[in-house]
Amino acid sequence: MKYRVSSHRVFLKNAAILTVSALILRALSLLLRVWLAQKIGPAGIGQYQLILSIFLPAVSIASGGISLTVTRLTSLALGQQKPGRIRSGVRRCLLFSLCFSVFACLLLILSARPLSAAFLGGESYAPCLWVLSLSLPFMSAGACLRGYFLAMRCTIRPALSEGFEQVSGVLFVWLSFSLLQPSTLGQACFYMTAASVLSEMVSCLFCVLLYTQHVHRFLPGREEHYPHVGRSICHITLPGTLSYAARNCLNMAVNLLIPAGLMRYGADSTAAMAQYGMLEGMVMPFVTFPAVFLTAASSLLIPEAAQAMAQNDQKGVSSLATKALRLTFLFSMPVACLFFFFGVPLGEMCYQSTQAGQFFRLLAPLTPLWYLDTIVDSLLKGLDQQTPSFLYNTLDAAVRTGLIWLLLPIWGLRGYIVTLFLCSIGNAFLSLRRLLKVAGIHLSVTRWILAPALFCVLLCQPARLLFASRPTPWVLGLCLLFPLIGTFWLLRWSSRTRLPRFT
């Protein structure tokens, strides 16, 4: 059986499946955040974010680069017409990731008590980290199998698995809060972490069943040995794991420094945690929510780019990168305009907070850079450029940590905003420059950036007048929809050429 790089129609079908599923799941997550903010307040959201920030370095060690590794190895086997190697490669990756996840689990269990005492306000939060550590083997196994499905262009199965995880997680949180009714912030955080672990277990078991069924159906032939698979796993996984671990360790330092810096600026502990919770736990998930439309495509770009590179198709690589960058800019610029013009009413409607709306508007110019980073990072990984990507991400996190430590005690939240702008611009510049060089393409600033931004600014003006005359949630939704429809028309008009069809 001959395997080829997916056609334009298959690519769009898979992207549509991932986009719809990601949109539903992120919407559920966002609604859960809004509900939790009403239950435990911004300070509680901030405390939960700190727990997760300490947990994320362990996640990086357990499964940081393994999904990319499985996707790359499977894509290379398909590109070389050697599908019999796939099962062997996936099994080796599973063994590799489980060893790392057990190590990360033990490390987190042993360090939970001192970390809680030093950074979370007391050892009473150590059980949250102990419970979270149990999810690491399930997370790493699930990441391996999702990487396999993405490489096989079978997007429905990982979408079902992630949907199962998200729905079960929301259900577990709702049941625990409704039936057990936590009386303290520590209990609330414990219930949320326990719900997260249970949902990871359920999702992993479901993913294993889907993988077993898929392998028996689509890879029934004799299994072949994957040559030099150990070397390939180390070559692909270690840079990604080191990148994720270093970046998440530095991000953990940033998250721990923010409340401390705000307290040094003059805020008390409760106010500092509330400001941190509002920015990181309430505003950031909302601002990054539209990225679900790009996240699906970004995950599919890795196998597309990897197979094009395996076939030495430089023209295909250039065409793929050009189309991906153009659509990213054409999407992200209008989204930034919407957050800028309608951020304040969005904050008042969703969180009953004018301050949250002001943060929406303040962070609007950064959304194109954040969305661009998602696409560029995936393309670089697919083109075997994970080491430069690791260096850029690590440098970004290190500079961010230093600036947070330096500026927050002097300027407060303004120092954090300045840090976000400087680091986001620097990281986007370095990553984009590398991609343009490797793919051999050029950036059209006028057509890709200035034109869609100006187009959406013009469309937002009548929408603003309409909302000013009738400031209701329904009218706000209509005002947001009108520029998006215009943006969709712009995307269709600009897409005169299809995504590259590799043969």
Q: Tens digits of per-residue pLDDT, 366-408?
A: 999 998 988 888 888 778 787 788 788 888 888 998 999 999 8
Residue 488 has a pLDDT of 63
* Boundaries of every domain in the chain: 1-264, 312-498
Q: Which two tokens stand for residue 23?
A: 């949109």
Residue 133 has a pLDDT of 94
Sort 225 into a burial class: Cβ within 10 Å, 0-12 / 13-18 / 19+: exposed
Residues 6+ apart with CB under 8 A from 281: 33, 37, 42, 45, 46, 48, 49
Kindly report the pTM of this predicted structure. 0.74
Q: Which two tokens stand for residue 384?
A: 């075997």
Sort 183 into a burial class: Cβ within 10 Å, 0-12 / 13-18 / 19+: exposed
- For residues 105 and 136, the answer to whether their CB atoms sit within 8 Å is yes
DSSP 172-230: HHHHIIIII---SHHHHHHHHHHHHHHHHHHHHHHHHHHHHHHHHHH--S-----TTHH
- For residues 344 and 358, the answer to whether their CB atoms sit within 8 Å is yes
Q: Tens digits of per-residue pLDDT, 89-106?
A: 888 889 988 998 999 999
Residue 255 has a pLDDT of 84
- For residues 254 and 401, the answer to whether their CB atoms sit within 8 Å is yes
Please give the backbone phi and psi of residue 390, each rounded to the nearest 5 degrees, phi first: -60, -45
Residue ranges of the chain with pLDDT lower than 50? 1-6, 497-503
Please, what sign has the CA dihedral across residues 303, 304, 309, 311?
Answer: positive
DSSP 374-415: HHHHHHHHHTT-HHHHHHHHHHHHHHHHHHHHHHHHHHTHHH
Which CA distances in Å does 207 have to 66, 165, 220? 16, 10, 19
Q: Which two tokens stand for residue 207?
A: 């993913």
Q: DSSP alpha helices (H): ranges in 64-135? A: 66-79, 86-119, 126-133
The angle at the Cα of 257, spanning 253 to 259, to the nearest 5 degrees, equals 135
- For residues 240 and 390, the answer to whether their CB atoms sit within 8 Å is yes
For the chain, what's the residue count? 503
Amino acid at 344: V
